[in-house]
A = this chain, B = another copy of it.
């Protein structure tokens, strides 16, 4: 869409313009995401049941599909201000290089010490764990973005942090591994002999490079077998999309400031945290009939959960100890090719995004890594 003002290269909101609430897109969805199921009973899981795995406040956020806005606690707002608002960048030079009439904007979330958008949810999850009086949290990480962000958040709040890192990434990315340790986290290559589920996976697949699904199983077992610990997850979950909505809320505020209405909103999609966060407020407008946008999820051809997966109930983890989620999935036993095992190689897709995609409200394409590099 056109506008008459000159758009700067980077639109920065003022700190006082930073959103003070997260937006829960589920509240505006007619077809709600299917409920998480208790793997023992096969029935929708309750806050009480889920609170054994997650902090209570996060379990509530996970299951709440009717509250549209959640206040961001002040401690989290003060933390956010170290690196937020993040800029919305107009890619003038790229437009020129492509000789395109399109006006290209991107939201830049790399401007924090952990290096990615993952910190938006890491500090929230660590905060609720601290607030509940817990000793620490466990998690998995692939390429290490989530693990790094969580380690940083836990160091800030003086919480113990135990990270199961997919083995191939643990070996390929020594610097990421050591950054987490520098923040005080305990980092274990997964699958490992430190958990029952890890031992079981290793006995069946002794040469495995690991996967996020395996590492999740180990992290969940570690959390539930230690007093004062809970499990946290960096993507896929609805609570994570809630926290990441700050990306979209800021992007929308920045565009509104210059009267820009986007036609198409595109994001890469692994588990869905980045894309879901970005599109949430725009999707909310579309769901309420206030505006229309095209949304496009871009996923890796080597792990095409939306474009090649099935929309069914599946385990979130390889060890099948997590709740069942209805999502586009390649199967919880999916093992990615060994070249990469990061977040973009997770077998399933956020149940929120899965439902939006199934309802035709969002499109999806998959691309080959090598084609992406060639284009760049």
- Docked Cα-Cα span, A82 to B94, in Å, equals 11
At the interface with chain B, which of A4-12, A43-51, A196-204, A236-244? A4-12
Given contacts A111-B111, A175-B175, contact A82 B9 (CB under 8 A): yes
Evaluate whether A81 and B15 lie within 8 angstroms (CB atoms) in the complex, with A111-B111, A175-B175 already known: no
Residues of B within 8 A of A89 (CB): 82
Query: A30 contacts the other chain (Cβ, under 8 Å)?
Result: no
Closest residue of B by beta carbon distance from A8: B15
Q: In the complex, which of the residues A81, A89, A175 has the most CB atoms of chain B within 10 Å of its own CB atom? A: A81
The answer to whether B14 touches A81 (Cβ under 8 A) is no
Q: Which residue from chain B places its CB closest to the CB of A376 in the assembled complex?
A: B182
A57 vs chain B, min Cβ distance (A): 23
Checking B9, B81, B175 against A8 with a beta-carbon cut-off of 8 angstroms, the contacting residue is B81
The secondary structure that dominates the A interface is mixed
Q: Which residue of B lies closest to A175 (CB)?
A: B175
CB contact list, A8-66 vs B, under 8 A: 8-10, 12, 14-15
Cα–Cα distance between A79 and B93 once the two chains are bound (Å): 8
- Which residues in B have their C-beta under 8 angstroms from that of A14? 8
Kindly identify, within residues 161 to 193 of chain A, every residue whose CB is under 8 Å from any CB belonging to chain B.
Answer: 175
- Whole-angstrom CA separation of A160 from B82 in the bound complex: 38
User: With A and B bound together, what is the CA distance between A89 and B84 in angstroms?
Assistant: 12
Which residues of B are found within 8 Å of A111, using beta-carbon distances?
A: 111
> Is A12 a contact partner of B12 (Cβ separation < 8 A)?
yes
User: Complex formed: what's the CA distance from A79 to B92 in Å?
Assistant: 10
Determine the chain B residues whose CB is within 8 A of the CB of A82 once the complex forms. Answer: 9, 89, 93
Shortest Cβ distance from A85 into chain B, in angstroms? 9
Q: Once bound together, how far apart are the Cα atoms of A93 and B155, in whole Å?
A: 13
Complex interface: chain B residues within 8 A of A78 (CB): 92-93
Give 14 CB contacts A-B under 8 Å.
A8-B14, A8-B15, A8-B81, A9-B15, A9-B81, A9-B82, A10-B15, A10-B81, A78-B92, A79-B93, A82-B93, A93-B156, A111-B111, A175-B175
A residues touching B (Cβ–Cβ < 8 Å)?
8-10, 12, 14-15, 78-79, 81-82, 89, 92-93, 111, 156, 175
In the complex, besides A9-B82, A78-B93, A82-B89, 8 extra interface pairs with C-beta distance below 8 angstroms are: A8-B15, A9-B81, A10-B15, A78-B92, A79-B93, A82-B93, A93-B156, A111-B111
